[in-house]
Chain A
Amino acid sequence: MIKLNNLVAKYTTVRGQVTAVEGVNLEIPDGTIVGIAGESGCGKSTLMKVIYGDLAYPLELAEGGIQYGFPDASGAEVTSKTIQKEWFRRISYIPQSSMSSLNPVIRIRKQFVDFLDAGTNEAEVLAGIREYVQKLDLPPEAIDAYPHELSGGMRQRIMVAMATFFQPAIILADEPTTALDVVVQKGILMLLLDLQEEMQNTILFVSHDMGVHYQITHKMLIMYAAKVVEFGDSETIFAKPLHPYTKMLTESLPTIGDDHLRQGVSGRPPSLWDDLKGCRFADRCPLATELCKHEEPAFIEYRLGHFAACHYAGDNV
C-alpha cells in the first residue's frame, strides 16, 4: 500500500512560490494500475515527481510525506527522503519522451548498465537484458544500437524494458505513449498490462487521454488546479462519476459510431497565483452555487473506495 499523506508541493520562481500540488491524501493498494488524469497544469506531473522522489530545486515537498510500503536495505521504512536510493530497483520511471532521457551519443547497452552498482558482473547483466528485451518484442541487437537508430516505438519499449528489468514494485509512467502512433501505443500499453499481470506491481500512469485510462487502469485519480477531485475504481468513475469535472472529461471526446453532439470543456483553470477561495472548479461548473464559491468541498468517501471533492457529488449535470 502506498500512502500519500497530505502532500503539498511547491515551486519557487522569480514571482514567489506557487503550490502545484495541494493536500493529496490517498491510499493506493499494491498491484493496482492507477491512472492520473487532468488538464495541463493540474499538477499531475508534479505529483509524479514527488512520488518518484525527484525533488530538486525549484520543486520542494513543503508538507506531508509518503509511505511506500516496503522496507529499505537497512530494514527501515522507505520515505520520500530515502526513495532515491531505490531508483530502478524498487521504483522506476518511464518518461514521455525517450529521446530526452536516452543519451544520443551512447549505445543503449551502456545506458542500461550505468545505474548498476560497481562490482556487479556487467556481462551477466547484459546477457540477462538481451533475453529480457525479446520478451518485449525487441530484437536482442536493439540494445547495441544508438537511440536514433531505433524508431520511436522501439525506443519507448526500451524505456519500458529499463523501467521493468529489475522488477520494481512501483512504476511511474508520465504520458509514455502520448507521442506515439495509435497502433504502437496499443502495443506498449498491452505490454505494460502483461508485465503488470506477471509482476503484480503498482503502476501510476499519467495521461490526458481518457480512452487510454479506460483501457488499462484499475483505479483513477482526477486532478484539477493542484487538487484531487475524484479517486476510485475506473469502471465506476466512467459509469457513475461523482464530480462534474470528471463527467466533462469523459464526455469531451467523440467515439466512433456515436453521433451525438460533444462539447469541449469551456473556459480555463484558475491561475494558481490567484488567491483561490472555495471550490476551484466553481467558475466552469454547471452545478456551482454560492456555497461552492465560498466553501471548499472536502474530499469525502461517498461510496466504498470512491472519493470526491464536491458539494453536489453524484448530482446530475
Chain B
Amino acid sequence: MTTNGAMKTVLQTENLNKVYRLGGLFNRVRINALDDVNLNIQSDEPIIVSVVGESGSGKTTLAKVILRLINPSSGKAIVSDQLVAGPGVKPVKEAFLRTVQPIFQNPFEAFSSYRPVDLYLLETATRVNQMSQADAESAIDEALTSVGLTYADVRGKYPNQFSGGELQRISVARALIPRPSIIIADEPVSMIDASLRMNIINLFLTLKQDYKTSFLYITHDLATAYYVSDYIAVMYRGTIVEYGPAKSILTDPQHPYTQLLLDSIPAIGRKWQRQPIKLSDIESKEFQMTGCRFHNRCPIAEEKCTHERPPAIKKADGREVYCHFA
C-alpha cells in the first residue's frame, strides 16, 4: 500500500444536524433527520467508507448535505480537506466540483431523456476541467474505458437506449472526469438487478486503486458494504450507532442494532432462526425520542437509555460504539 503523503480528512462532521418540521400550524412534528452526527475519518490513502442504514436512518440526508444539495440546520462538514457545509460556508464552485462528485440511485433519472448522455460527459470536461474540445474527447474516452465502455458505445445516444447498469457506469465515468478525491455514491446499485450489482461494485475497487479516488458508499445492503468498504458507519434514526473498520464490525457487531441488521439479512448458506422481532413504532414518534433512539426495540435497554444519549465508546480495534453497555 503506497502512501499518498500527508494525512487527509476524508470525511469529518461536527455536530451535524438537520431538522425538518412537518405538519401544519397546530400539529408540528420535528424530524431530526440528522441528529448530532460526529464523524472523523482521516486517511493518507484512498478509502471506501460505507454509510449503512435502513430508510429513515439519515444516510441519504448526510449524502445530500455533503453534496451541498441541502443545508444543514447546524454543525459543519468537511470532505477531502474542504469545508462543504456549515454556517455561511460557500466553497468556490470549481474547487468543489473537482473534489466531490456524485453517483445517484436511479440511473434512468440521472440523465435528461431529451439529451444524449455524452453531452453531460462533454460538459463536465469542458466546464469543470476547463479542457479544450480535443482534450475533452480523450478524457471522456479514458473515463469510459475505465468503466468498461467506449466513446463509440455512447456517442449521441439517449438514456432509453441503455440498460440500468450501463447508465450507472456512464454516471461513474462522468464523475471520474474531474478526478475528484471523493465520489459520493448514493445507493448506486439498489435499482439494478441483484445479479448485475457486482459489476458496478467491483468498479469502485478498481477505481480506488487506479484513480486513487475515495468513495462514500451509501447503502442499505450490508453484504456489498462488507465486500467493498474499509470503514463503515451504521446509522439509525439520524444518529450513528457504530463506526469503525468494516470487516470487524460486520463480522463482530457490538451494537444491538447492528446485530439486528446482520441477523435480518437473508444470507445464502445460513438459515434464519425463527425468533420474534420487535418492529419499529410510528416513525414520527421515534424521531422525537430522547435518549438512545433504539431503546424501544433494544433487548438490553435499561432506564438510563430512555433519557441519556449514549456516548461514543472507543474500542481496541479502533471502532466506536454508541451504547451505554458497549
Q: Which residues of A approach B to under 8 Å, CB–CB? A: 39-40, 137, 151-153, 181-187, 189-190, 193-194, 208-212, 214-215, 238, 248-250, 252-257, 261-266, 268
Contact = CB atoms under 8 A, between A and B. Distances in A.
A145 to B, nearest CB: 11
B218 to A, nearest CB: 14
B206 to A, nearest CB: 12
A257 B249 CA distance: 11
Contacts of B272: 186, 190, 215
B105 to A, nearest CB: 13
A32 to B, nearest CB: 17
A40 B266 contact: no
Interface string B190-233: 00011111111110000000000000000010111011000000
9 closest A-B pairs by CB? A211-B266, A264-B198, A264-B199, A181-B54, A254-B227, A252-B195, A186-B264, A265-B195, A215-B266
Given A210-B268, A263-B198, A183 B163 contact: no
Interface stretch (B89-97, B274-282, B300-308, B310-318): B274-282
B266 A186 contact: yes
A264 B200 contact: yes
A79 to B, nearest CB: 33
A250 B279 CA distance: 30
Nearest to A245: B195
A137 B165 CA distance: 38
A77 B201 CA distance: 50
A16 B159 CA distance: 23
Contacts of B197: 252-253, 264
Given A214-B266, A268-B163, A255 B223 contact: yes
A244 B87 CA distance: 56
Contacts of B83: none
Contacts of A151: 280, 282-283
B196 A255 contact: no
A146 to B, nearest CB: 14
B262 interface: yes
B196 A252 contact: yes
17 contacts: A181-B220, A182-B54, A182-B261, A182-B265, A183-B261, A183-B280, A208-B195, A211-B265, A249-B195, A255-B268, A256-B251, A256-B267, A257-B250, A263-B199, A263-B202, A264-B202, A268-B163
Contacts of A266: 199
A256 B195 contact: no
Contact of A214 (B54, B268, B274): B268
Nearest to B277: A187
Query: Chain B's interface: helix, strand, loop or mixed, by majority?
Result: helix
Given A190-B272, A264-B198, A256 B163 contact: no
B112 to A, nearest CB: 23
B193 A256 contact: no
Contacts of A194: 274
B194 A208 contact: yes
B222 A256 contact: yes
Q: Which of under 10, 10 to 19, 20 to 34, or 35 or more describes the interface residues of B?
A: 35 or more
B195 A262 contact: no
Contact of A264 (B196, B226, B267, B269): B196
Contacts of B269: 214, 255
A147 to B, nearest CB: 14
Contacts of A254: 198, 223-224, 226-227
A264 B194 CA distance: 8
A264 B148 CA distance: 13
B270 to A, nearest CB: 8
A183 B264 contact: yes
Nearest to A261: B202
Nearest to A138: B279
A206 to B, nearest CB: 13
B227 A250 contact: no
B275 to A, nearest CB: 9
Given A187-B279, A189-B266, A254-B224, A208 B193 contact: yes
B283 A211 contact: no
Nearest to B251: A257
A264 B263 CA distance: 25
A252 B226 contact: no
A178 to B, nearest CB: 10
B188 to A, nearest CB: 13
A40 B193 contact: yes
Interface string B245-267: 00000110000000011111111
A215 B54 CA distance: 20
